[in-house]
Amino acid sequence: MKGILVALAAFAATSAMGIPAIAQSADEAARARVAPFYDALSAAPGKDVGDLVRRVAAPNWLSCGANEACRTRDQVITAVTGLQQLVPDLKWEMKEVLVADNRIIVRGEATGTPKGDLMGAPPTGKSFKLMSIDVHTLEGGKLTRSYHVEDWMGAVRQLSVK
């Protein structure tokens, strides 16, 4: 009888009902930590990009893209503001969130319709959808470093198709 109870307890601890509840809780907490950043990326009239980024990112935060080209928090705020002027309907969604120690990995999706030239693609009224992968490191509850990759060339191809 004791063996059956041990087996049932082990099954309950690893059942479909037990594991997702724990993972969902961690994912929800991680999602809440980085949500202001993705809110800042999405364009909206009157949105204070700087306030949203400062809320989630430490003053010494670096956001690093291709070949470790990193931007400071203020440089990111300026870049995001400029991108939103070019793509006024830009929407950036968190599609999947994974947690590993003090890192939050986000698979995101951005959509929008440029009102001007985007990396050589003239405005045509077409929209794009791209995937992004971000690896955020947190210390003291704030982002201290982020590595990101976006498929901007895929977006340009979508905008250039005749």
pLDDT of 19 strictly over 60:
no
pLDDT of 57 strictly over 90:
yes
How many structural domains are present in the chain?
1
Instruction: Write down the H helix ranges in 15-132.
Output: 18-41, 49-56, 73-86
**What's residue 16's pLDDT?**
40
66: DSSP letter = G
Higher pLDDT, 26 or 149: 149
pTM, rounded to two decimals: 0.81
In one-letter notation, the amino acid at residue 58 is: A
pLDDT of 66 strictly over 80:
no
pLDDT tens, position by position, 139-158 = 999 999 999 999 999 999 99
**What's residue 22's pLDDT?**
52
Domain containing 64: what range? 2-160
User: What is the chain's mean pLDDT, rounded?
Assistant: 86
pLDDT tens, position by position, 28-39 = 888 899 999 999
Q: For the sheet with 128-139, list strands across it.
A: 70-72, 57-64, 142-150, 128-139, 103-112, 91-100
**What's residue 18's pLDDT?**
44
In this structure, what CATH number is given to the domain that contains residue 149? 3.10.450.50
**What's residue 75's pLDDT?**
96
For residues 102-120, average pLDDT: 95
